[in-house]
Each structure stands twice: as C-alpha cells, then as structure tokens.
Amino acid sequence: QVQLVESGGGLVQAGGSLRLACTASERTFSNCGTGWFRQAPGKEREFVAAITWRGGSTYYADSVKGRFTISRDDAKNTVYLQMNSLKPEDTAVYYCAADGVYSGRDFAEYDYWGQGTQVTVST
C-alpha cells in the first residue's frame, strides 16, 4: 500500500508559478508510474501530466504543455509538478496518483491517490 501526500498548493496571481510535490510512504514508489490530475468545482477530474517509473517518459495534457513540467526524485520518494505561467483556468484541486503498472491519462487505472492540494490562480 502506497500512501501519497501532496503539498505546495496555494494562491498565486495569473502568470505566477507554483511547484507541487507528491511524496510517497514507500520506497517501491520508484517503481510506480505517477500522474497528476485536477478537478475544478462542477467539473470532472482531468489528466494533467504523468511520468513513467524512473522518469523514462512524460506525458502532458495539451492545456498545460509548455507550461507545466513533471519530474521525479526517487531518492526522496517524490514526484514534482512545476507549474509556470499559471492561468485562472488552472484553478482546481490537484491530485497525484500512482500505480505499479500504469502511467497514462486514465485516472481509473491508478490504484493509489493522495488527498489533493488546492491551487487557486487569481486574475
């Protein structure tokens, strides 16, 4: 069982940056694919970015490509989401998810989830 804890959310002005962190309780996290998803009020959860185990490949939603970067530091059991040039439409609760096999866009395929961290981008 992998427990995930997100951190780094907050309030930022449009055009600003935040870095989210997802820290896992188990060393086996380094063998997991990890994804970031977000959910705004009244909207469905949507894919943001994902990274394969050992960081071999990364994937991004079109809406964040070029602005967000996902990375991992397995020595720290942590996956990061660097978010630059933030827009008000990026406002949402951001969740990280991990899975021992999957590292794609479908949130239903991930076994482990964090509790979420709020990101609010003001105009």
| pLDDT tens, N- to C-terminus, the chain (123 residues) | 889 999 999 999 999 999 999 999 887 787 889 999 999 999 999 999 999 988 789 999 999 999 999 999 989 999 999 999 999 999 999 999 999 888 899 999 999 999 999 999 999
pLDDT of residue 26: 84
Q: How far is CA 57 from the centre of its chain?
A: 15
- Rg, C-alpha atoms of the chain: 13
Tell me what pLDDT residue 85 has.
98
pLDDT at residue 27, rounded to an integer: 79
Cα–Cα distance measured from residue 19 to residue 2, given in angstroms and rounded to the nearest whole number:
22
The pLDDT of residue 107 is 92
CA distances from 34 to 18, 26, 50 (A): 19, 13, 6
Could you give the C-alpha distances from 23 to 47, 80, 122, in angstroms and in order? 19, 9, 27
CA atoms within 13 A on the CB side of 40: 10
Predicted local distance difference test score (pLDDT) of residue 122: 97
pLDDT, residue 34, reads 95
Give the count of beta carbons closer than 10 Å to the beta carbon of residue 84: 14
- pLDDT given for residue 57 in this prediction: 93
Q: Give me the half-sphere count of Cα atoms (radius 13 Å) on the Cβ side of residue 10.
A: 11
- Asked if residue 20 lies in contact with residue 81, where contact means CB atoms within 8 angstroms, the answer is yes
